[in-house]
């Protein structure tokens, strides 16, 4: 009789924790990602559909921007959340291709789902995908076309074409000629070393048509809160001197509950007189500096407003930090926290300043700025939803132009680049033995989802189009892609000026492959027990703590 010790049961996770593992869990994760892909794939391409999303507060968003849709979907499946991350990363890094990266990641997982069901190890698939990803990226860099900036006219034309391609699938496609020029001018107005897109201010004014949108090569911001006396101030200046302050010009009660004790009425009057004297000293110093436009991040009260009006000086208080920083970048000068010792080099200048009515709002415009490293887009449209989608579309185009300026390499869009890389990977896979051949071929097939989905969304026969594209690429037509304008559905998209920065494709392939490999490497999902909500009677203890408390009461 054996009396060997029996291994005790070890409870590692607390009661209520849900664990799922094995091949079934991996396939479940893949299915979740494919479901997300199915939701977003119809928005791809120039004829993609929009999505209407309503959040928990009832706010409506209409968009076909991949990053916006993924953010608003409120995905709860833990594996599918990785697709939200890659869409956001693509939007932050490149600005466009957010739908493509999600669709491609879902297709990469869909292609290997059969291998997983047949028992192929995920590690073998991950190894093959990483190899194929590196080959694809290297090939995109090899075939990309570089346009040198030495030829300024050709370079600007390239920026226009890239911006137009970014807008081709957006709501503003019908006015892409108008907005393309606006976007390129806006990006070229920035500091070409930094190219900080945040310095392009975007203001939205409901009403009017899209064609009434304006590009201000300088700064524009909405008229701030004003006091009595404001309307007496001049609203237009030529070559003004501009003072930017972080100073409060207002009589107000003491802060922090300050307490002042006085014995005589004359002492109280001395305190009041001192407050008036302090603010008048500030105002006199500002007038003596020669400034004709005074802006401040802090309030400018009614006393100061009337004082400036009597001396033909314009003032605006409570200007936002972003706007006042952009004013300083455009007109020069510096932000001052004191009104004393103001010299000419502390003041900015521009050719003209005016307060202008735009739609139902009044805007302060600074134009003809000598150091204009910033600009402002004032967008018009019939509804807030419409203007918000125009803003998202312009953001994508601005990011594309910015990346094109930095990288200066382009590829053809419309699925042409994906088909060429797919052909290259198929040919390479035939030189590899074993399972890796099938996995690299699966990666090549997954790339074809982009032209296939563009064709489907345009109402074309996707199978017929793909067969034509495979034949054309096999014959050496490197940039053949889907075209919704030609009769047979295909065209040389480099000649058709459907251009995209090579960085969009490189980043999309990298991100999609990494997301697919990440999901394939997960073999178990552990979900902790949800915390219980407190009842109306007060805070509720966790179940285990409640049971221990009851046992303790029983012993007493």
Residue 120 is encoded by which pair of tokens?
Answer: 């192929």
> What 3-state class would DSSP assign to 301?
coil
Which value, in Å, is the radius of gyration of the alpha carbons in the chain?
31
Contact 499, 161 (CB under 8 A): yes
Residue in the structure block whose two tokens are 């990641």? 105
> What 3-state class would DSSP assign to 507?
helix
Active-site hit among 43, 61, 99, 180: 99
- Identify whether 495 is a catalytic site residue: no
What is the C-alpha to C-alpha distance for residues 18 and 24, in angstroms, rounded to an integer?
Answer: 15
Residue 9 is encoded by which pair of tokens?
Answer: 């049961």
- Identify whether 65 is a catalytic site residue: yes
Active-site hit among 43, 98, 224, 292: 98
> Distance from first CA to last CA of the chain, Å, rounded?
45
> What 3-state class would DSSP assign to 479?
coil
Beta strands at 524-527 and 200-206: parallel, antiparallel or unpaired: unpaired
- Identify whether 96 is a catalytic site residue: no
Active-site hit among 43, 61, 65, 456: 65
Among 288, 298, 301, 299, CA closest to 346: 288
Instruction: Report residue 16: phi and psi, to 5°.
Output: 100, -10
184-189 contacts: CB < 8 A, separation 24 or more?
184/156, 184/159, 184/160, 184/401, 185/215, 185/217, 185/375, 186/215, 186/375, 186/377, 186/398, 187/159, 187/398, 187/401, 187/402, 187/405, 188/156, 188/159, 189/217, 189/372, 189/373, 189/374, 189/375
What is the C-alpha to C-alpha distance for residues 148 and 533, in angstroms, rounded to an integer?
Answer: 62
- Identify whether 99 is a catalytic site residue: yes
How many angstroms separate the Cα of 177 from the Cα of each of 167, 169, 173, 284? 10, 14, 8, 51
List of residues 6+ apart from 168 with CB closer than 8 A: 46, 176, 498
List of residues 6+ apart from 191 with CB closer than 8 A: 199, 373
Determine the Cα angle at 209 with ends 483 and 352, to 5°: 115
Active-site hit among 396, 404, 456, 490: 396
- Just list the catalytic residues: 65, 98-99, 396
């Amino acid at each position: 009789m054996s009396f060997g010790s029996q291994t005790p049961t070890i409870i590692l996770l607390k009661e209520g924790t849900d664990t799922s593992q094995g091949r079934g869990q991996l396939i479940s994760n893949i299915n979740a990602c494919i479901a997300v892909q199915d939701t977003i794939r119809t928005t791809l391409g120039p004829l993609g559909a929009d999505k209407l999303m309503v959040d928990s507060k009832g706010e409506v968003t209409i968009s076909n921007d991949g990053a916006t849709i993924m953010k608003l979907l409120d995905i709860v499946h833990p594996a599918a959340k990785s697709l939200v991350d890659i869409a956001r990363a693509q939007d932050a890094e490149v600005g466009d291709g957010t739908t493509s990266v999600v669709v491609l990641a879902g297709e990469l997982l869909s292609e290997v789902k059969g291998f997983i069901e047949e028992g192929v190890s995920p590690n073998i698939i991950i190894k093959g995908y990483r190899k194929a990803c590196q080959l694809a990226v290297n090939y995109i860099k090899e075939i990309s076309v570089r346009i040198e900036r030495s030829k300024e006219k050709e370079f600007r034309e390239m920026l226009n074409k890239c911006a137009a391609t970014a807008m081709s699938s957006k709501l503003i496609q019908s006015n892409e000629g108008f907005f393309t020029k606006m976007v390129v001018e806006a990006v070229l107005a920035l500091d070409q070393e930094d190219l900080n897109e945040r310095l392009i201010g975007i203001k939205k004014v409901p009403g009017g048509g899209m064609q009434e949108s304006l590009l201000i090569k300088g700064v524009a911001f909405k008229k701030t809160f004003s006091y009595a006396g404001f309307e007496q101030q001049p609203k237009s200046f030529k070559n003004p001197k501009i003072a930017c302050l972080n100073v409060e010009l207002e009589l107000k009660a003491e802060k922090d509950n300050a307490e002042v004790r006085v014995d005589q009425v004359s002492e109280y009057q001395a305190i009041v007189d001192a407050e008036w004297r302090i603010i008048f000293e500030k105002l006199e110093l500002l007038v003596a500096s020669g400034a004709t436009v005074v802006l401040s991040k802090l309030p400018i009260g009614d006393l100061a407003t009337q004082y400036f009006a009597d001396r033909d000086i314009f003032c605006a208080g409570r200007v936002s930090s972003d706007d006042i920083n952009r004013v300083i970048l455009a007109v020069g000068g510096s932000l001052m926290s004191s009104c004393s010792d103001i010299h000419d080099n502390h003041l900015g200048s521009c050719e003209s300043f005016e307060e202008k009515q735009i739609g139902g709002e009044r805007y302060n415009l600074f134009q003809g700025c000598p150091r204009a490293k910033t600009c402002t887009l004032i967008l018009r449209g019939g509804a807030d939803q419409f203007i918000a989608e125009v803003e998202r579309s312009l953001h994508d185009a601005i990011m594309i132009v910015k990346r094109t300026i930095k990288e200066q390499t382009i590829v053809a869009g419309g699925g042409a680049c994906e088909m060429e890389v797919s052909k290259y990977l198929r040919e390479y896979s035939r030189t590899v033995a074993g399972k890796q051949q099938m996995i690299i071929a699966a990666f090549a097939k997954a790339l074809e989802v982009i032209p296939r989905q563009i064709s489907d969304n345009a109402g074309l026969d996707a199978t017929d189009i793909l067969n034509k594209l495979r034949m054309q690429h096999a014959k050496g037509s490197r940039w053949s892609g889907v075209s919704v304008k030609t009769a047979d559905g295909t065209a040389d998209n480099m000649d058709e000026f459907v251009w995209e920065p090579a960085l969009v494709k490189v980043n999309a392939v990298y991100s999609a492959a990494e997301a697919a490999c990440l999901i394939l490497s997960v073999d178990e999902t552990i979900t902790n027990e949800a915390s219980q909500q407190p009842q109306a009677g007060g805070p509720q203890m966790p179940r285990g703590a409640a049971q221990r408390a009851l046992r303790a009461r029983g012993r007493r």
